[in-house]
Amino acid sequence: MDIIQVAEVLRRFGVDVLLLAVGVTFLTSLLKKTVMKSVSSKVYVFLPFALGILIYAAYSLIAKGGICFTAEEAFGIVGRGFGTGSVATVYYAVYENFLRGKFRTDPLLPLLECIPAEKRDRAAEEISGLDRSEEDLGKKIEETLLAYADPPLEEGELAATAALIEEYLKQIT
């Protein structure tokens, strides 16, 4: 995107819409993960637009300092709110498709709480790299856990953790 395209986006939407859209994106994501978990997925399509209109209307009320709007101003607020929802939808799509996977952690990490945090990534990488078809996979996992755990694990805890990780590895293949 060159400077002319950036200037055109700013001219078309305005800085206020672009910044409010960030808030709408986060609010939409938060609502999807908490309050609206059991709602039909069709509602999620319209949620950013509805929130965009509501948030832009609240922003306009605060900026103007009153609730007296002409019909033209009211339609402008709805239009800018719809634009806020549109930009929020684009932000969310970019996040889901390009950024989300980069911030994901290894799903094996929660199973490795017995290993100090600074060594956990290396241990997860080593365990993930083990050949899952081997008969002595559990033994190799135990050896890796023993090598990284500090303080050392008790025998029962070691066996239980290794069995849990082994079963997890077998399930994901």
Please report which confidence band the pLDDT of residue 1 belongs to, taking 50, 70 and 90 as the band edges: low
pLDDT of residue 104 exceeding 60, the answer is no
Tell me what the pLDDT averaged over the chain comes to: 82
pLDDT of residue 135 exceeding 70, the answer is yes
Query: How much is the pTM?
Result: 0.55
**Whose CA is closest to 88, among 41, 40, 44?**
44
Say how far apart CA 29 and CA 33 lie, in whole Å.
6
The burial of 80, by beta-carbon neighbours within 10 Å (0-12 exposed, 13-18 middle, 19 or more buried), is given as buried
**Contact (Cβ atoms closer than 8 angstroms) between residue 80 and residue 73:** no
In the chain, DSSP finds a helix count (H) and a strand count (E) of: 8, 0
